[in-house]
Structure 1
Amino acid sequence: MVDDQNDFQALENAAVYDSENKKIGTVGQVYLDNETGRPTFVTVNLGLFGTRETFIPVDAARPADGDLTVPFSKDFIKGAPNVEADAQITPEEETELFRYYANGTPAGERDAAPTGRDAGEERTAREQRTEVAAGEGRRDARQGVDADADGTMVAHEERLRVDTQQQEAGRARLRKRVRTETENIEVPVRREELVVEREAIDPDSAEARSTAPIAEGRDEEEVITLKEERPVVEKETVATEKVNVGKRTVQDTEAVTADLRKEEIDVDEDDARRR
């Protein structure tokens, strides 16, 4: 087992063998306990080009001839809780890792009873330490990217899907009102006027001889009626205009702008270890 920091250098890039003495990868990084400074976890590169690192408790590993042997199968190690490398482990993640390896069961059966490994006391002590361990938040540098144990990574991207929906854009009303206007019309009218003509009569004419003698006390008069036209005003209602209001659909184009995120995958092949 790794007892102090002197073993740290010996573990870098060491080969890791499983319970069947088969090489499953190489040591990636060593994580130290915040309180004691002793190595707590070691990561093993399992994927292609070392793209997948899985955490294994240091106390469960056994150095042998410069290599590291773990009492677990490769499939079991692949099923360990997924914890981001290159970041400080949170107390919750540390507890989950210890529980997983203490139970000795695959990830889908973590709630099953322990298989009999004599690590109960050691696990309890480590869980108590993780409850008070302070750590910085994980740096989620791979958010939204899926990776599996075979070194395959799937990138996703957001695409814009645009649809339309109807909404009220305005209203139109037909409203009729009465407006009064003054109109002047020149109307031609006719009227009769009295025309007086005086004419002298020849006394020797027949008209003068036929005139009756003037009777005493009798006056004669002739009444003439004069007429004239006057305007007569009447109102009538007539239709002057008809207004039809309808609707039509007009095709138009509107610009839609949105920010879309896209994942890109880079493969870095680097043998230098930061821890």
Structure 2
Amino acid sequence: MISLEQMKNSMNSGANVLSEDGAVLGPMGQLYVDDATGEPSWVTVATHKMGNPESFAPLNGATLDGHDVRLPYTHSKVYDSPKMSQDGHLSPEEEQHLLRYYGLMAPKDGDVVADERTSDAGAVRPQSSRPEGDYAMTRSEEQLRVSTEIRETERVRLVKRVVTEDVTMTVQIRREELVVERVPVKDGTPFYDDGKGSYTDAERERLYSAVETAFNGDTVEVVLYEEKPRVELDVVPIERVRVRRDVHTQDEVVGGQVRKEVIETERVEL
């Protein structure tokens, strides 16, 4: 078992983590120690590209190769290991998940989870682990993030339709009516009853010329006229209808449930 002091010296010297055949897995990352015993329990190694989570490997059965740390596992075993969030702490559930992957704990039997891990050194109860020298714990909480999205509510079109309605108007029209006037003739000279006086010479001549055709038949034709209403249709512009969009802003209250972690201290009697 590599001691904590030896692991610190390896980290300070920029050591690498090796696979069981001596191949370099990558530079040593963080050293995790057991919360209960303070002994080194896990080491991280950058087996992937920059920005990806580091791989966790147990130090159970590891040995020193100079300053480097050689693990009893193949390159692919460490490379394919479950990736954990490096928030400064391995919970018991995360540690059990890694122990089952590396074969240091019996696999789940249905819904029953084994509470112990087996190794060459005997049965050891799994504990949560933290980075060496780190006695802090990260507290997390959920926060609401509200954004907006644009969606259609309705579509409006301007459509012209033709409707018919009855319109009534009053118009003044004129018409001619026939009026018959009878003028008596006295002593061969006609006089108007309305006080206009006697006929003129021209009228008297027409009067006596008419007598010459007496009893021969005569016809006088008079044409009467009147106005009739005539309806015509004119198309004229009345108004223009335009639609436009106005943006109105209003406050809307949204809410949701968020979770947050609370850190408490527990005292264990030794």
Q: Which of 89, 108, 112 is 1:136 aligned to?
A: 112
Residue equivalent to 1:172:
156
Cα distance in 1 between the residues matched to 2:110 and 2:169 = 102
Higher relative contact order, chain-length normalized (CA < 8 Å, sep 6+): 1
- Is contact 2:40-2:59 (8 Å) kept? no
Relative to structure 1, the CA distance from residue 219 to residue 111 in structure 2 (aligned partners, 3 Å threshold; closer, same or farther) is farther
Q: Does 1:110 align with 2:71?
A: yes
Residue equivalent to 2:60:
101
Relative to structure 1, the CA distance from residue 134 to residue 242 in structure 2 (aligned partners, 3 Å threshold; closer, same or farther) is closer
Residue equivalent to 1:53:
36
In the TM superposition, 1:15-54 aligns within 5 A as 52-53=35-36
Structure 1 residue ranges without an equivalent (≥5): 1-17, 21-45, 55-73, 83-95, 114-126, 140-144
Relative to structure 1, the CA distance from residue 132 to residue 147 in structure 2 (aligned partners, 3 Å threshold; closer, same or farther) is closer
Higher helix fraction: Structure 1 or Structure 2? 1
Residue equivalent to 1:25:
none
Cα distance in 2 between the residues matched to 1:247 and 1:268 = 62
Q: Does 1:158 align with 2:142?
A: yes
- 1:32-87 Cα shifts (integer Å, max 9, x gaps): xxxxxxxxxxxxxx78xxxx225xxxxxxxxxxxxxxxxxxx6xx323489xxxxx
Overall identity of the aligned pairs, in %: 26
Relative to structure 1, the CA distance from residue 195 to residue 263 in structure 2 (aligned partners, 3 Å threshold; closer, same or farther) is same
The structural deviation recorded for 1:109 is: 4.5
TM-score for both structures, normalised by structure 2: 0.51
Aligned Cα root-mean-square deviation (Å): 4.2
Cα distance in 2 between the residues matched to 1:218 and 1:264 = 138
- 1:89-121 Cα shifts (integer Å, max 9, x gaps): xxxxxxx99x842344699753459xxxxxxxx
Residue equivalent to 1:270:
268
In the TM superposition, 1:216-227 aligns within 5 A as 218-227=216-225
Structure 2 residue ranges without an equivalent (≥5): 6-32, 45-55, 75-102, 116-127, 191-198
Cα distance in 2 between the residues matched to 1:211 and 1:262 = 133
- Count residues with an aligned counterpart: 173
Relative to structure 1, the CA distance from residue 153 to residue 235 in structure 2 (aligned partners, 3 Å threshold; closer, same or farther) is same
In the TM superposition, 1:209-248 aligns within 5 A as 211-212=208-209, 213-215=211-213, 218-248=216-246
